[in-house]
Chains A and B, each alone.
Chain A
């Protein structure tokens, strides 16, 4: 997408020029250092391969060009930071430990080698920020103004959380697994990023403690050395830099579980008061799709164009993807291609006859096997979570 690329480059040079680069220096540094695996030298990666939303701590989304691939490369995978990565020595494989405590028979402290002795599994799964698409809500809601790229699909390798929990022995009345990471806020008055998932999700055989991403050691920005992957659920449950697992009767307390990442269980409008018991934690993903080609703003020659994209959902499967090129008046089925892998996204294609010259909008809409269909715009909610309005790109068709 040329305009987005252009934005990155000009913003970069202007910034470097204007302020001697506080934001720029940090962004460039972080991107280089952080998308490389911990064990290898940083520097090989293109600095502006991600679209920065917040320079420090880094929040950056995948440029839409990268979505023509089924697996999103590590150095183009979106980055979401609450406080930024911990000091490297805190998560160095030699020093790192995973502590299991709370309602367990045997508290454990596991090294990375201990962890690797459990059965290894690999799962391909979509990871998506629950704020992906927040920028499209009207009225706007506070938070990082993500557009379309706070999502990716990767192969996660690690061990089953269930196996580790079995080793520790879960005791009643454990109902929730609290997760803590090694990242710390700049100022100690800021709440820690403490999250929990219900015990059923923790014991699900597909929920894993991942230490490899697309075959490489988990990169620092993605939670090295170990993060949780709860397939089908939004990334706020997939805690990075994991160090502490606590079994407890209640959900995690504190801002990041009790206030943030909550979604109203009934329709609300801006300004409505919502009772705490009507706000539920954001958990499973909702059905969604993305147009990867052509890119927003592209100029196409009149004739046939192969529209390509991706579709995904939470714990179900994608059954149809439809495309509209007349602003949503009529829809035609796209062809689902590639493998149908649980938790991964599904690729699709649609051969479009452009018709005469002019400006066109292409829309895509996915449906899953639970009957969820993407709406034109998602129901407004105060946190701006779970956007899944139909995807759209505008293109120009020219004669020949």
Chain B
């Protein structure tokens, strides 16, 4: 053992940068993959939307694993309920093995990626599609608002009066409130509309 090199430090700015990038690039939509994003961007979006359902992604970024361990870990997560199809699983595994490998050292710098042209969370123009909303809910809201919007650490959303005021709903989701994080940089207007449509179908 090297007596002087043992300590491992996780530098704060790398983590914040990662979260920042991740937050800007998450919508949880697989279709996005065809819209010209780099593989890294797609992977970051998957990490921030699909992997954060059960735990924060700091658990992911503190690992330094060889490719076979990443394969085993991601496939275990899929087995346990992470929503990734085969293609997404391969893409994310490659990204994790590229950045968070055993030789990466204590600090991993994420590449800075320019913002996408689409303005996230902008005014709700299209009608929401309830079936899509269910998936978006599962990936982003379920850990706090519970199965079928029945409530958990966050309030019950099924039959919540706020659903009758689409604008107030959208604003609350975009800006966040109290312990509820803002979703404006994560979800796009259509996705918030989809969520609203799905939540409105829920029984008591």
Within 8 Å by CB of A136, from B6, B55, B152, lies: B6
Given known pairs A15-B19, A142-B63, the reply for A189 and B80 (CB within 8 Å) is yes
Please choose the segment from A23-31, A92-100, A238-246 that sits at the chain B interface, where 4 or more of its residues have CB less than 8 A away: A23-31
Given known pairs A22-B181, A23-B19, A188-B81, the reply for A145 and B6 (CB within 8 Å) is no
- B90 at the A/B interface (Cβ < 8 Å)? no
Q: Is the CB of B12 within 8 A of A10?
A: yes
- B92 at the A/B interface (Cβ < 8 Å)? no
- The 0/1 profile, CB within 8 Å of A marked 1, for residues 44-71 of chain B is 0000000001111011001111100100
Chain B contact residues: helix, strand, loop or mixed: loop
- The 0/1 profile, CB within 8 Å of B marked 1, for residues 349-372 of chain A is 000000000000101000000000
Please choose the segment from A38-46, A52-60, A65-73, A309-317 that sits at the chain B interface, where 4 or more of its residues have CB less than 8 A away: A52-60
Q: Is the CB of A20 within 8 A of B65?
A: no
- B143 at the A/B interface (Cβ < 8 Å)? yes
What chain A residues lie within 8 Å of B3 (beta carbons)?
327-328, 361, 363, 392
- B102 at the A/B interface (Cβ < 8 Å)? yes
A389 to B7 alpha-carbon distance, docked (Å): 12
Q: Is the CB of A186 within 8 A of B69?
A: no
Q: Is the CB of A145 within 8 A of B63?
A: yes
Given known pairs A15-B16, A139-B102, A145-B8, the reply for A20 and B56 (CB within 8 Å) is no
Residue on B nearest A139 in the bound complex, by CB: B102
A296 to B7 alpha-carbon distance, docked (Å): 10
Given known pairs A23-B19, A23-B58, the reply for A186 and B12 (CB within 8 Å) is no
Given known pairs A87-B152, A145-B8, the reply for A140 and B23 (CB within 8 Å) is no
A377 to B6 alpha-carbon distance, docked (Å): 10
A392 to B9 alpha-carbon distance, docked (Å): 15
A101 to B143 alpha-carbon distance, docked (Å): 31
- B134 at the A/B interface (Cβ < 8 Å)? no
- The 0/1 profile, CB within 8 Å of B marked 1, for residues 144-169 of chain A is 11010000000000000000000000
- B79 at the A/B interface (Cβ < 8 Å)? yes
What chain B residues lie within 8 Å of A139 (beta carbons)?
64, 66, 102
Which residue among B54, B55, B142 has the maximum number of chain A CB atoms within 10 Å of its CB?
B55
- A264 at the A/B interface (Cβ < 8 Å)? no
Given known pairs A54-B58, A136-B8, the reply for A389 and B1 (CB within 8 Å) is yes
Chain A contact residues, CB within 8 Å of chain B: 7, 10-11, 14-15, 17-23, 25-26, 29, 52-57, 59, 83, 87, 135-136, 139-140, 142, 144-145, 147, 185-191, 296, 327-328, 361, 363, 376-377, 389, 392, 394
Chain B contact residues, CB within 8 Å of chain A: 1, 3-4, 6-13, 15-17, 19-20, 23, 53-56, 58-59, 62-66, 69, 73, 79-81, 102, 142-143, 152-153, 176, 178-179, 181-182, 185
Inter-chain pairs besides A18-B19, A187-B142, A389-B1, 5 sampled, C-beta below 8 Å: A26-B56, A57-B55, A363-B3, A376-B1, A392-B3
